[in-house]
Amino acid sequence: VVFMVLNLAGILGWVERKGSALIQDRIGANRASIFGFAGMGLVNTLLADPLKFLTKEDFIPPAGDKLLHTLAPCMALFPALVTFAVIPFGDVLIIGDRMINLQVANLNIGILYVFAMGSLGVYGIVIGAWASNNKFSLLGGVRGSAQMISYEVAMGLSVMGVLMIYGTLELQEIARDQGTLIRELLPQWLSFLRPIIGWLPAWGIFLQPLGFLLFFTAAVAETKRIPFDLPEGESELVAGYHVEYSGGKFLMFFAGEFAEIVTAAGLITTLFFGGWQVPYLMRDGFHFPGGATWLLPHLVIVVLQLVAFTVKVIFFCWLQILLRWSVPRFRYDQVMRLGWKMMLPLALINVVITAIVIVAAQ
């Protein structure tokens, strides 16, 4: 998990730098090289930048709390790494008599674990802000904690519809249930819809479109990036809770931010886009709606599942980076109004409508 998330987070740093350069019509990171090889800025981003961070002075404010100042970056990075442990990246790999579940930790309370671990991230922000003994840091920490707590409520309620439809808290089972078709879920009184939408896979995006929009918005807000980067708004708070951090500790905050992007993309993929599912791909091969089949070896199916999950995660990572460079920052009051007065009521309405449809379908 650590290897996958941190490596993808490092690559996302390069994607963001080169992507922002493309958007702003400039070259981007291109100075560092090894014997003349720059690798389109990969050497600059993946090697030169971390080395420069790690060799910088580790500054601790004289009036700050040294222990908590050191602990805060670890607490900011840790939740994103351990949360990814329950996200399945494949079904089952069969080797001889052994069945290997392609998931680090298969918990029957997986979604509760996700929210429990995700909520710990706020402690890294608050502790880092308080331990810095700086008014800008403290104000950024207060903003960050208020924002994360506000959007966790809407995020939790936006997932309720998915849990009600698939009837489980286990992320692996949610991914497996999305391998069916919508026509298998439609009740008799909605049978007229089968020729229209019955061929679609039973992914969360088709069954819970409003839930997806709410969850995606809340997930972006939880990463604390533009347009929700109020805790570190440069124009108001210099750098927010980062202002007294340098060197390796700042690098940990930076890595934690990109790790959160990867984890958010993994959750969006698993809950709303079938996870590792490929449309019409079953455990023995493709079964198309018209009745045609294409049988495949087990290893090929596993590879297709891994590729599908990876492509979906990379797409949503890229989408979050694209938002970062396309949408202006909200004001603090606008962020709070969006979370409490718009997203929370919509999430509650979505839960009620989902419950009514489920009861009517029985």
* Residue 44 and residue 189 in one domain: no
Residues 103, 186 within the same domain: yes
Query: What confidence tier does 353 reach under pLDDT thresholds 50, 70, 90?
Result: very high
Tell me which of 37, 55, 73 is where a domain ends.
55
Does residue 264 share a domain with residue 331?
yes
pLDDT (0 to 100) of residue 88: 92
DSSP 8-state assignment for residue 89: S
Residues 137 and 10 in one domain: no
User: Is the pLDDT score of 331 beyond 90?
Assistant: no
| Residue given tokens 């351990």 in the structure block | 82
CB 8, CB 317: distance < 8 Å: yes
Please tell me the pTM assigned to this model: 0.90
Residue 135 has pLDDT above 70, yes or no: yes
Helix (H) or strand (E) holding 362: none
**What are the pLDDT digits (tens) for 221-264?**
988 887 888 777 666 666 677 788 888 888 888 888 888 999 99
Question: Of the segments 126-130, 136-140, 292-296, 309-313, which one has the largest average pLDDT value?
Answer: 309-313
Note whether 33 and 154 are same-domain residues: no
Give residue 313's identity as a one-letter amino acid code: V
* 120: Cα separation from own chain's centroid: 15
* In the predicted structure, residue 125 carries a pLDDT above the cut 90: no
Distance CA 29, CA 261 (A): 21
Same domain for 145 and 71:
yes
The answer to whether the CB of 339 falls within 8 A of the CB of 143 is no
Which structural domain, as residue segments, surrounds residue 96?
Answer: 56-361
* CA-closest candidate to residue 12, choices 329, 315, 327, 326: 315
What's the domain count of the chain? 2
End of a domain among 35, 55, 75? 55
> Within this chain, do residues 175 and 206 fall inside the same structural domain, yes or no?
yes
Q: What percent of the chain has pLDDT over 90?
A: 30
Residue 261 sits in the same domain as residue 175: yes
Do 352 and 287 have their domain in common?
Answer: yes
Q: In the prediction, which pLDDT does 205 show?
A: 93
CA–CA dist 4, 85 (Å, integer)? 11
Tell me: do 21 and 129 sit in the same domain.
Answer: no
Q: Which of 260, 248, 313 is nearest to 122 (CA)?
A: 260
**Nearest-5° angle of CA 289, CA 292, CA 295?**
115
Say how far apart CA 225 and CA 323 lie, in whole Å: 9
Do 93 and 103 fall within a single domain?
A: yes
Range with the poorest average pLDDT among 22-31, 236-245, 247-256, 343-352: 236-245
pLDDT at 107 over 70: yes
Give the residue, 212 or 103, on which the prediction is more confident: 212
Q: What pLDDT is stored for residue 311 in this prediction?
A: 94
- Joined together, the tokens standing for residue 245 give 């951090």
Same domain, 194 and 51: no
Neighbours of 297 (CB within 10 A): 10
pLDDT at 288: 87
Q: What is the mean pLDDT of the segment spanning 181-201?
A: 82
Token pair for 340: 């409490």
Q: In which region does residue 209 sit, left (phi positive, over 0), alpha (psi from -120 to 50) or beta (all else)?
A: alpha
